[in-house]
Amino acid sequence: MFVVNKITKVGTTLVNHKKKAIAGAIAVYFGVEYAKGNIRDSKIRNYYSQIAVKYGQETVKISGSPRRLTILVNKSANERKVFDKFKDNALPLFHLAGIEVTVLICKDAEELEAIGATINEDEADCLYVVGGDGTMSRLLTGIFKHKEEAELPIGMFPGGNANRGLLDNRFDVFAVRDDVAAFCESAMAVIENTKQSVYPVKWEISKKAEEPGSEADLFELQTMYSLNGLRSGWFAMVEEHKHKLWYWGGLDRYFTYLWDGIKRFPGEYEVCVNYTKFCPGCDRCLSSVKKSVKKIVEKESGRSSWWSMLIGSGIKIGSHKKIEAEEVLPVNEECGKAADESIVSRGIDIIVDNETFKRGNGLKFVSGGENFNRIEAVKDGWKRTAAGGSVFVSPSNEFYKKATAISGNSMELLFKEMPKDWTYVWIAGEKIDLGEAYNTSSIKAVATKKKIEMYLPDGIRYVL
């Protein structure tokens, strides 16, 4: 009877305090989910720790030394959350693996760029970037503005809002944001020396300088390098805006497309593209790259340790690197030649992608959404969302115009029409405003075909 009375009393309390009961139930639900998530993440970290510690237990040759890893941290990336995620997931694995770690916290992007310009193989064996696409872009800009090649292999912690540079090369690994397994795999790629060749794009943005009181036509030139491409149009705007509506949880992207479709749908963009014909890599465009690579190999294979010189050992640091037979490259007479005519395209989704091939990279331009109204745009945005949180292109084959889809070694974009107050392009996560004089601006992109050895995992080996 006592139990029955208690149950009746609890039921009466819940009925009389419906709002409190609902709020309590929601709090309990999220509390349970949070606890389950922590348990899951702990299991994943423990799994990768057991692998990493095996590398730390390996003996080092008397003439050798532990690998030196310099970690460059952009503490402001992703609202300063990225550094905490890195400390919890990746940094312990490096220590367990016996790697000599140096952490450099950069106070701003300029400092990061300066480090990229000066750091070399005398100070580190490899680099690891903690940040997003913009952080990686700053590092590459520092390197290639002052050097012909990247001397050190580079790894990247997937801590940005989009991580498109990683997604373009390992979509299956980094498709899920804030995934502890992906965090750990990015570190394990460095530990296990799992690398892939990637190639950056060089960007030159020329736009009218905003000099108050000046009547002269002054232009400012911004040069940058990135692994990923360019986005412009309504869809790029929505993808940026969704981060401000984080409180919608898993529905944030759906809601942002709906809200921006109703409140912020500026209209179409028109762009003219001048380009040179695409070449996958020939003797003409790769000759200078081959020379710089040869210099690096000769320098590394000839460097001996002091201990080896003292005892007369034949072992040399870097001698494990094989000098591959020089590939005979084809001759492409069309390489570097301007296309017969420019293309002009309209739409609400303007994209330039960086595509990787065996011997280098190329650029691909597409545009879509011409004559779309706001309802059609929202529907396509929801299709992208349903396809996955890291899907940033339309899954519909009819969305992009095949007639104006082109590939090339270099491209120059000249915007002829941009909606008022929406004169933006996004390159490597950086929002660039072309301003009211957008039609006098130009954006030049060049597929550099300059190789970077990047640490990229083959896949995620632990799935609950």
Distance CA 394, CA 399 (A): 7
Residues 105 and 140 in one domain: yes
Which of 6-10, 161-165, 320-324 holds the top average pLDDT? 161-165
In a domain, 164, yes or no: yes
What pLDDT is attached to residue 407? 94
In a domain, 328, yes or no: no
Residues 153 and 93 in one domain: yes
CATH code for the domain of 131? 3.40.50.10330
Buried b (16+ CB within 10 A) or exposed e, 170-192: beebbbeeebbbbbbbbbbbbbb
Residues 58 and 140 in one domain: yes
What pLDDT is attached to residue 224? 96
Range of the domain at 224: 202-280+333-447
Lowest mean pLDDT, pick from 152-166, 201-215, 306-320, 448-462: 306-320
Q: How confident is the model at residue 29 (pLDDT cuts 50, 70, 90)?
A: low
In a domain, 346, yes or no: yes
pLDDT, averaged across the chain: 84
Residues 259 and 358 in one domain: yes
Total domains in the fold of the chain: 2
Tens of pLDDT along 179-194? 999 999 999 999 999 9
Residues 215 and 178 in one domain: no
What pLDDT is attached to residue 394? 94
Q: What is the mean pLDDT of residues 331-342?
A: 86
CATH code for the domain of 262? 2.60.200
Residues 405 and 422 in one domain: yes
pTM: 0.84
Question: Does residue 391 or residue 366 have the better pLDDT?
Answer: 366
Pairing mode, strands 442-447 and 406-417: antiparallel
Token reading at 280: 């996958």
Q: Would the pLDDT of 298 be above 90?
A: no
Q: How confident is the model at residue 79 (pLDDT cuts 50, 70, 90)?
A: low
Q: What is the mean pLDDT of residues 190-206?
A: 96
What pLDDT is attached to residue 62? 66
Residues 173 and 267 in one domain: no
Q: How confident is the model at residue 276 (pLDDT cuts 50, 70, 90)?
A: very high
Task: Give one DSSP letter per residue of 206-227, joined into a string.
Answer: EEE---TT--S--EEEEEEEES
What pLDDT is attached to residue 28? 65
Residues 101 and 247 in one domain: no
Lowest mean pLDDT, pick from 5-9, 283-287, 377-381, 411-415: 5-9
Residues 232 and 96 in one domain: no
Residues 177 and 230 in one domain: no
Q: How confident is the model at residue 27 (pLDDT cuts 50, 70, 90)?
A: low
What pLDDT is attached to residue 65? 81
What pLDDT is attached to residue 464? 64
Could you give the 3-state DSSP secondary structure of residue 157? strand
Could you give the 3-state DSSP secondary structure of residue 230? strand
Q: How confident is the model at residue 7 (pLDDT cuts 50, 70, 90)?
A: low
Buried b (16+ CB within 10 A) or exposed e, 197-212: ebbbbbbebbbbeeee
Tens of pLDDT along 85-96? 999 999 999 999
Distances (CA, A) of 124 to 66, 362, 453: 11, 30, 15
What pLDDT is attached to residue 16? 66
Q: How confident is the model at residue 208 (pLDDT cuts 50, 70, 90)?
A: confident
Distance CA 457, CA 330 (A): 32
Residues 403 and 443 in one domain: yes
What pLDDT is attached to residue 310? 38
Distances (CA, A) of 328 to 281, 282, 287, 321, 331: 11, 9, 11, 21, 10
Task: Tally the C-alpha atoms within 13 A of residue 357's C-alpha that lie toward its C-beta.
Answer: 18
Token reading at 346: 């309209």
Q: Would the pLDDT of 75 be above 80?
A: no
In a domain, 17, yes or no: no
What pLDDT is attached to residue 333? 79
Q: What is the mean pLDDT of residues 83-110?
A: 93
Burial class (CB in 10 A: 0-12, 13-18, 19+), 340: exposed
Distance CA 153, CA 126 (A): 5
Among the listed residues 147, 177, 233, the one whose alpha carbon sits nearest the alpha carbon of residue 417: 233
Burial class (CB in 10 A: 0-12, 13-18, 19+), 312: exposed
**Helices 133-146/109-118 angle, 10° precision:** 40
What pLDDT is attached to residue 299? 46
Buried b (16+ CB within 10 A) or exposed e, 103-140: beebeebebbbebbbebebeebbbbbbbbbbbbbbbbb
Q: What is the mean pLDDT of residues 54-63?
A: 80
Question: Does residue 15 or residue 301 have the better pLDDT?
Answer: 15
Task: Tally the C-alpha atoms within 13 A of residue 415's C-alpha that lie toward its C-beta.
Answer: 31
Which of 37-41, 119-123, 209-213, 245-249 holds the top average pLDDT? 119-123
What pLDDT is attached to residue 108? 83
Distance CA 409, CA 277 (A): 6
Phi, psi of 122 (to 5 degrees): -75, -20
Answer for the pair 289, 345: CB distance below 8 angstroms, yes or no.
no
* DSSP code, position 170: -
In a domain, 128, yes or no: yes
Question: Does residue 18 or residue 442 have the better pLDDT?
Answer: 442
What pLDDT is attached to residue 304? 41
What pLDDT is attached to residue 17? 62
Tens of pLDDT along 256-273? 999 999 999 999 999 999
Distance CA 261, CA 293 (A): 49
In a domain, 8, yes or no: no
Q: How confident is the model at residue 370 (pLDDT cuts 50, 70, 90)?
A: very high
Answer for the pair 126, 92: CB distance below 8 angstroms, yes or no.
no
Q: What is the mean pLDDT of residues 197-206?
A: 96
Amino acid at 458: D
Task: Give one DSSP letter per residue of 401-459, joined into a string.
Answer: -GGG-EEEEEEEEEEEE--TT--EEEETTEEEE--TTGGG-EEEEEE----EEEE--S-
What pLDDT is attached to residue 346? 96
What pLDDT is attached to residue 39? 79
Q: How confident is the model at residue 389 (pLDDT cuts 50, 70, 90)?
A: confident
* Residue 96: how many other CB atoms lie within 10 Å: 20
In a domain, 21, yes or no: no
In a domain, 16, yes or no: no
Cα 276 from chain centroid (whole Å): 26
Residues 190 and 214 in one domain: no
Q: Would the pLDDT of 113 be above 80?
A: yes
